[in-house]
Structure 1
Amino acid sequence: MKWFAKTPKKSTAVESDERAMLTSDQSIVEYKGGRAFPDCLTQGTHRHYTDYATRMLSVYQDGIGQPRYQLHRQIEAIFTDEPDCPVRRIQAFCKLLDDAGDYQTDPSGEATKLRLKIFSMAAQFHPLVAQPDRLFESGENDIKARIAETLGQSWEMIEQTLYSDVLDYQRLERFEGYANPAALLSRYNVAQIQACLYKAEQMTVWASEDFKTILRYAKLARLLHEIERVDASTYRLVFSGPASVLNETRRYGVSFARFLPALLACRRWRMTASLKTPWKQPVQLALSDKDGFTSHLPPPEMFDSSVEQSFCEKFGNQRDGWTLIREGDILHHQQKTFVPDFTFCHADGTKVLMEIVGFWTPEYLAGRRQTLRLFRDHKIILAVPEKSLRDGAAIGDNILVYKSALKLTSLMEILERFRRDYNN
């Protein structure tokens, strides 16, 4: 059993909410029987890691103002007597903890200028010694105090910025951290899978739910796709990276890694990824929603708007021979995809799709009209708010206008019209 972490209520885009990802040097993966097995901490074998995680979080929570290298040394000390903790695992923990905080930076290069000034002032008293005597009169502490007085700052303040442009010496300013020790361990497991995906050349996902979320995040991760319907409720989605034709695996492997947390947040899916290895043998990474990994992203919302939710509750699962399915179809043409909000299936074989426009802009409506033209061979109803229509605008047969909620009588009339056309 793996650790589970609570997720936030709202999701953000892959590019803006990209959480800590490891480097290849921090990746731990075992290859066996043509399969890849990223390092994974479980509650059975690694239950004692909960205490380690608690101590690691305390180091950073109490470490505001300390330089990075001191924090890392304290993390290393926690695992001194732990035989089951390779160096890469410790380095991975440090990376995840670092990325959950904010460190002092020096974008304007003031640290370099300050060092030049201080070293120039100190050079006048060279050599500096810890204990001055008759031969060496310049004591280090005395000269530091003199320089601080000249600059009008305490030496402690000077020391905090003297090496702020050197990564190891940057000081921790804020630590957002993780909700609890289990969240840190859960994040570690996902980060190791992400690092394994750096070697991926292609990813195949079989999905039975949350198509819209999967495709939206794949687009944000700049993945190309091929889509095939497997059965009535399952699609096979093959993703490849934009740089695949250039044979730059690491570049689009990172795109797969960015996409992974969104996939983990979805329901009813399984995935395989083809990995490139140094010995040129094909290796597969396999995952599914049953494996128990937790995303830092929340599960997709069941409905995009209150209008959709209200309509779905009012219509029910079936009405007058029509069965209602939420996001049951993917329409695709080359790299353009469209997942309508609802699919209506009649017992006689008629299928009608419906997209509900809730929040809208003129640009959004124009895009939806273009989408309808692209997929005009399908029966699609577009439900639009009355306030979005211009005065005198022509309303097509497939347009359902609503004020605050969809009227079922108007909808049923359009559905029946489509059904008559289908049967004639």
Structure 2
Amino acid sequence: MLPTELLMFRVKAGLVEPRRLKATTNNLRLAESVTQAFEANLNQRRADLDEELKALEAGRSDFKVLRGFAHLLTNGSSTFETGSDVDPGHIRAKVFELAQAQPPSRHRRTLVLEQAAKSLVTERPLSAEDLADLLYADLPDQQRLVAFDPPEPGDLLERFNLAQAQGQLYRAYSLIITARRNEPARYKQLLKYTKFFGLMVTVEGDATHGFTLTMDGPTSLFSSTTRYGLAMAKFLPALLHVTKWDLTATLKPRKDLDWVDESEAEWLFELTSEDGYVSHYKPPEEHDSALEAGFSERFAKLDTPWQLEREVDLVSVPGGVIVPDFRLVHPDSRSVLVEIVGYWRPEYLRKKFDLLRKSGRTDVIVCVSERLNLDKAGVDPSDFGERLIWFKGVLNPKDVLALAERMTSGA
């Protein structure tokens, strides 16, 4: 992401609009020039790279864009290392120790470095010149660019635009997302990232009218911190993998800017899935497991009016959220949810069945593999009664369809 000083935006009637770069010839050329500067400095010191970047931005009015590109390449595409098998701190300690015993003279520095080079045990012989170069090699500006994975200019532009949007969330203390029907893998990734980044989420709604996810937390109570907003910013790229959503964030205004209206108590930042931002996070797999993929493939071969949907409900329960694997929908509007429980760790199994019970939903078919060691996990699913299907190896979709018919027809 970008530091605050590189964020570019405007505020109109309390609504924040981040700067977005278009894929113009000039912008693409600038992205390519910055990338080429990194490539030209491979195996060189960061200080040398910084000097070249300063020369590149000289006299440019869009220097913030250039610095933004450089920041993203430094933190997302580059690997900097000390470039030595010897700890520079150890070298300094040895040099300072020898310097204390060496009387002052104009050749003192060279003599000390030569003595230190001879006394250090290294993979290759070191000269006094080598030691002088390595003495402070662990400082950031002395580290060397040892690897660089250059993005395409257009990709760097997309990353810059997303970083500008992410930066608006640094000062967010509330995030409300309306997400309509989506594949379970997308929902699951979404919820996984809320947990990963420490975001507290409550869910309301249904698949027909959409779900409202409200993200808030204890840090939002303290106006002096941006830690929670930073977590929301890191979460945004995950949201981009979900389709059909709207986002509204409430922000603390930037009072440090001269043009900000002091009377404004809050700003709003709004995004939708149609805004065209591109995520750099890896997209989730369509199916979470081979069990689900196999079930879907076998179902597709059946001649049945029932439709198998990957777009299902988010089921909010006390202590968590359930995202069932499938929904079975009949043309006459009957429907059931399908949850497949394959091989998982004991703690996962306990939580999974606990959430299923807490949900209170009676329209969920629970399919459980007989290969699971439920006794070891301390789990007894028998209280799901007739909604429970046991299977060996593969799950037969005909068994699920038959149970769906009984559940929805009252038979």
TM-score (norm 1): 0.80
* Matched residue, 1:163: 136
Is the partner of 2:386 in helix, strand or coil?
Answer: coil
* Matched residue, 2:239: 263
* Matched residue, 2:150: 178
* Matched residue, 2:114: 149
Aligned residues: 382
What letter is aligned with 1:237? L
Q: Deviations over 1:58-82 (max 9, x none)?
A: 3223323433232122112222243
Q: Deviations over 1:386-407 (max 9, x none)?
A: 322569x875422222233221
Distance in 2 between residues matched to 1:342 and 1:312, nearest whole Å? 9
Q: Does 1:71 align with 2:49?
A: yes
Offset, 1:269: 1.8
* Matched residue, 2:123: none
What letter is aligned with 1:226? T
* Matched residue, 2:222: 246
Q: Deviations over 1:259-304 (max 9, x none)?
A: 0111122222221211110234332222222222211113332211
Distance in 2 between residues matched to 1:382 and 1:230, nearest whole Å? 20
What letter is aligned with 2:155? A
Distance change in 2, residues 1:253/1:154 (3 Å)? same
Q: Does 1:296 align with 2:301?
A: no
Give the 5 Å matches for 1:52-91: 52-83=30-61, 85-86=62-63, 88-91=64-67
Q: Does 1:193 align with 2:165?
A: yes
Offset, 1:359: 4.0
Give the 5 Å matches for 1:342-357: 342-346=326-330, 350-357=334-341
Distance in 1 between residues matched to 2:135 and 2:217, nearest whole Å? 43
1:198 and 1:249 in contact (8 A); partners too: no
Which of 394, 404, 412 is the aligned partner of 2:401?
A: 412
Is the partner of 1:48 in helix, strand or coil?
Answer: helix
Distance change in 2, residues 1:201/1:318 (3 Å)? farther
Q: Give unpaired runs (5+ residues) of structure 1.
A: 1-20, 126-137
1:198 and 1:257 in contact (8 A); partners too: yes
Which of 198, 218, 236 is the aligned partner of 1:222?
A: 198
Distance change in 2, residues 1:376/1:335 (3 Å)? closer
Higher relative contact order (CA 8 A, sep 6+): 1
Distance change in 2, residues 1:406/1:202 (3 Å)? same
Distance in 2 between residues matched to 1:76 and 1:243, nearest whole Å? 38
Q: Deviations over 1:309-330 (max 9, x none)?
A: 2322433499755343214101
What letter is aligned with 2:349? L
Offset, 1:252: 0.3
Comparing 330-339 and 308-317, the one that deviates more:
308-317
Q: Does 1:40 align with 2:20?
A: yes
* Matched residue, 1:399: 388
Q: Deviations over 1:1-51 (max 9, x none)?
A: xxxxxxxxxxxxxxxxxxxx222233222222322122322113xx32322
Distance change in 2, residues 1:386/1:197 (3 Å)? same
Comparing 410-419 and 253-262, the one that deviates more:
410-419
Offset, 1:96: 1.7
The structure carrying a bigger helix percent of its residues is 2
CA RMSD, Structure 1 to Structure 2 (Å): 3.0
Distance in 1 between residues matched to 2:298 and 2:309, nearest whole Å? 14
Distance change in 2, residues 1:269/1:52 (3 Å)? same
1:27 and 1:192 in contact (8 A); partners too: yes
1:225 and 1:240 in contact (8 A); partners too: yes
TM-score (norm 2): 0.82
Q: Does 1:51 align with 2:29?
A: yes
Distance in 2 between residues matched to 1:233 and 1:107, nearest whole Å? 60
Q: Give unpaired runs (5+ residues) of structure 2.
A: 118-125, 256-261
Comparing 251-260 and 198-207, the one that deviates more:
198-207
Which of 82, 96, 99 is the aligned partner of 1:116?
A: 96
What letter is aligned with 1:157? D
1:111 and 1:164 in contact (8 A); partners too: no
The alignment-based identity, stated in percent, is: 29
Is the partner of 1:383 in helix, strand or coil?
Answer: strand
Q: Does 1:101 align with 2:85?
A: no
1:144 and 1:155 in contact (8 A); partners too: no
Q: Deviations over 1:198-238 (max 9, x none)?
A: 01111111212232222221121111112221660521211
Distance in 2 between residues matched to 1:243 and 1:176, nearest whole Å? 37
Distance change in 2, residues 1:60/1:359 (3 Å)? farther
Distance in 2 between residues matched to 1:116 and 1:95, nearest whole Å? 35
1:317 and 1:325 in contact (8 A); partners too: no
Is the partner of 2:226 in helix, strand or coil?
Answer: helix
Distance in 2 between residues matched to 1:388 and 1:371, nearest whole Å? 18
Distance in 2 between residues matched to 1:328 and 1:97, nearest whole Å? 38
Offset, 1:414: 1.6
